[in-house]
Amino acid sequence: DTGVSQDPRHKITKRGQNVTFRCDPISEHNRLYWYRQTLGQGPEFLTYFQNEAQLEKSRLLSDRFSAERPKGSFSTLEIQRTEQGDSAMYLCASSAFGGGGETQYFGPGTRLLVL
Amino acid sequence: AQSVAQPEDQVNVAEGNPLTVKCTYSVSGNPYLFWYVQYPNRGLQFLLKYITGDNLVKGSYGFEAEFNKSQTSFHLKKPSALVSDSALYFCAVRDSTDNQGGKLIFGQGTELSVKP
């Protein structure tokens, strides 16, 4: 077990609704990442935090998406006005900063289905 | 721009035979390379990584990978496949010159099927 937890594991919602996912990283890790994985594809980077600072955002992260890590511990990813194209697995990962070669450890993911 | 290619969508091997899952990459600077495995409806599990040093890297569950700078490749290998190795395998790269230093770029994955 990697130690990264995500909640919920599955979410079914109707188009136009808002959803929020939570990620709890490995406790001593100061970096936290969000990725999105669609069927048959590899994970795609969305955003990452070092402590509470959001340091990079992908252009995949439209204005409907927002991520926070308020106290440098857990993080939330919110999707507003969901669209069917948002259906995917949302993966969270954490790492301890180590100069670039550090390993990212992934959680089990939250599978989102937008009807 | 960074990129990773896994040229085979699926690899089929018989149990006990050696396996190879191929990966090539493109980065501006020196690469940090990773292999992950994903079982159905699960997150990604780290197998091994190359940062610097010996080109042959050994990882979990008997897997190893060889970094080849001239061919820009990082193929995953195992001398004797097990049925339980059947899963989806992802290669990923990070450019060491990426000052923002966060994201991994993943390949599209290779489905490994090991038959008894």
For A108, which of B32, B43, B51 is closest by C-beta distance? B43
Q: Which of A6, A48, A105 sits opposite B103 (nearest CB)?
A: A48
Closest CA to A37 of A102, A115, A110, A114: A110
CB pairs under 8 A between A and B: 69
Average pLDDT, chain A: 93
Cβ(A43)–Cβ(A91) below 8 Å: yes
Residue B103 forms contact with A (CB below 8 Å): yes
CA distance A18 to B38: 28
Range B53-72 burial, b when 16+ CB lie within 10 A, else e: eeeebebeeebbbbbeeeeb
CA distances from A56 to A33, A52, A63 (A): 10, 12, 14
Tell whether the model's pLDDT for residue B101 goes beyond 70: no
The 10s digit of each residue's pLDDT in A46-59 is 999 999 999 889 98
Structure tokens at B98: 């990426």
Task: Return left, alpha or beta for A33; rule: phi > 0 is left, psi -120 to 50 is alpha, else beta.
Answer: beta
The C-alpha atoms of residue B32 and residue A54 are separated, in whole angstroms, by 22
How far are the Cα atoms of A2, A102, A111, B64 from residue B35, in angstroms, in the given order?
Answer: 15, 13, 22, 10
pLDDT at B99: 65
pLDDT tens, residue by residue, A77-111: 999 999 999 999 999 999 987 667 789 999 999 99
Contact criterion met (CB < 8 Å) for A44 and B106: yes
**The residue type at A43:** P
Q: Do A55 and B104 touch (CB under 8 A)?
A: no
Looking at beta carbons, which residues of chain A come within 8 Å of B90?
42-43
pLDDT digits (tens, 9 = 90+) for B35-76: 999 998 788 999 999 998 899 999 999 999 999 999 999 999
Contacting residues of B for A3, CB less than 8 Å apart: none
